[in-house]
Amino acid sequence: MGETTKVALITGANKGIGLETARQLGKLGITIIVGSRDLARGEAAVEVLRGIGVDARAIKLDVVKRADRIAAAKYIRKEFGRLDILINNAAVMLDARSSGWAKNATSKTSLKVLTDTFETNFFAVVDLTQRLLPLLRKSAAGRIVNLSSILGSQTLHATKGSPIYDAKTFAYDASKTALNSFTIHLAHELQGTKIKVNSAHPGWVKTEMGGEGAQMEIVDGAKTSVQLATLPADGPTGGYFHIGESLPW
């Protein structure tokens, strides 16, 4: 790897949108660190990526495990000395869904579902990002992409007739709203630096999480992350985007 080659860490990159994001960034000549809860699956993904000419390597990164987050930062510091791109892609949706979107069950959402959802989708993201910030500061153009969702938009949730007005998965939605808040606050703190922080809505993608009714192909679901990970110096920060279009908070 050359000194000018960019390095990207993608969490949950062994499948779905994460793996496709790794493929697209890797084809741009970026070295990919595949973060995977299961190392064997991560290594299998790396073999696929290397088979198409992508420089990739796997690390065990179960984002909810503090020890894994610490180890990831140590590995990147030792192997590369910096990090250019962090894509917080790993997430869970634990709200009950039977077919398509379930009826609003906010009053019945258990504390455990809320806690477990926030642990992965918010708290782990905050801690991992904070641990990696010293390495991102060493980049000539650090980029942080938080995989949010249109379901994190308070404006659209409260607007009758919006595309998500009747799509109420409380724990997941609230965790993505909190993640959007992290994006706004961190971007504000990092004003004047070379680091840009943005939230991405990939779309309703045909993945395990997407479930029935998803309309977008995975190749398209990765496009927003790739765009935000490769923003030029005059690109936006502190925004909420889907394929170049701003979303309302």
How far apart are the C-alpha atoms of 245 and 117, rounded to whole Å?
A: 27
72 close to 98: Cβ distance less than 8 angstroms: no
Residues marked as catalytic: 172, 176
Closest CA to 77 of 125, 118, 138, 122: 138
Burial class (CB in 10 A: 0-12, 13-18, 19+), 245: exposed
Dig out the tokens for 28 from the structure: 């741009």
Strand partners, 57: 33
Q: Rounded to 5 degrees, what angle do the CA atoms 136, 142, 144 make? A: 90
